[in-house]
Structure 1
């Protein structure tokens, strides 16, 4: 279970090194090449930290059940984020935390996402964009899965809105923001 309100999104080595020195336990890894993933996750674990790999945004590996299986079994990722049902199923069957990423663009995408989440039963749903009034309440009317907000988070007020709206956590690549909240 993820127990922190901010999930730093790491996509470069400099930010990764800063994360290792900070107090957050969990992070999301994306935009790295597959060849670096084993070393990244190993370093996280050596620092008593955990990494969630965004399978749709890792270069050099398929975001399907086989790529996910490799990421869980060989790389030892602690969790997987994906928009792909097969990746979520593979994460679950390999005892990795599973996060289904969904994009809310209209009522049709909402219902399609609800049906997918209900069928897959991921550990978490990541909703993009995060700042959708009442989205957690609407989602929980259909499925009781914890929600993470992602995308378009610009300041501490946005984080507060998401958390007060029922989101368990907020993911952000805005390093200055997650570092300011960390202090």
Structure 2
């Protein structure tokens, strides 16, 4: 592993996925080192990131959930120029490419809903010139699928979605995920 994001995630495998300001305040009471911001808009994302940012953590903004910014590369430029975010989360390869160009960490999110989704992950993993730093697969409570994706992925895997207790965390990590992301606040404090 050769980048700070991987090291921090490997050493702190629980990622807080924050959906609102109340959750962010609760998250700030925990020891999590990576925070996924899953809310906000063009007018307040800088304030949200500032509230989340501490010296030793990594803040990732979910571009697809940010209100008021298009799914275009200029939205990544806005995040880079106007916030202290360390990186982005998205389902769009073009945003991954732009974020890499401007020096942001990247998480490419996949929704694994059927076998075609697995084929798509394998195709993108083998053919795309620009690879994300990590991929996140949802839902994250599929040990057999996590193992398969970890085998075919060139980058580390985060399991997210529907992870709600210690058993889910242990299962995902034992299946090969480098870390998990969850909005379940009790898990942030495990």
So what's the TM-score if we normalise by structure 1?
Answer: 0.90
Change (3 A) 1:53 1:146: same
| 1:21 aligned partner | 29
The answer on 1:84 being equivalent to 2:92 is yes
Task: Report matched runs for 1:144-159 at 5 Å.
Answer: 144-159=154-169
* Partners of 1:117 and 1:125 within 8 A in 2: no
**Structure 2: gaps spanning 5 or more residues:** none
* Partners of 1:64 and 1:84 within 8 A in 2: no
| 1:125 aligned partner | 135
Task: Report matched runs for 1:1-183 at 5 Å.
Answer: 1=5, 2-3=8-9, 4-46=12-54, 48-118=56-126, 119=128, 120-179=130-189, 181=190
**Structure 1: gaps spanning 5 or more residues:** none
Give RMSD over aligned pairs: 1.7
So what's the TM-score if we normalise by structure 2?
Answer: 0.87
State the alpha-carbon separation in 2 of the partners of residues 19 and 48 from structure 1. Answer: 14
**Number of residue pairs the alignment of both structures matches:** 180
State the alpha-carbon separation in 1 of the partners of residues 55 and 153 from structure 2. Answer: 35
State the alpha-carbon separation in 2 of the partners of residues 166 and 143 from structure 1. Answer: 11
State the alpha-carbon separation in 1 of the partners of residues 73 and 56 from structure 2. Answer: 27
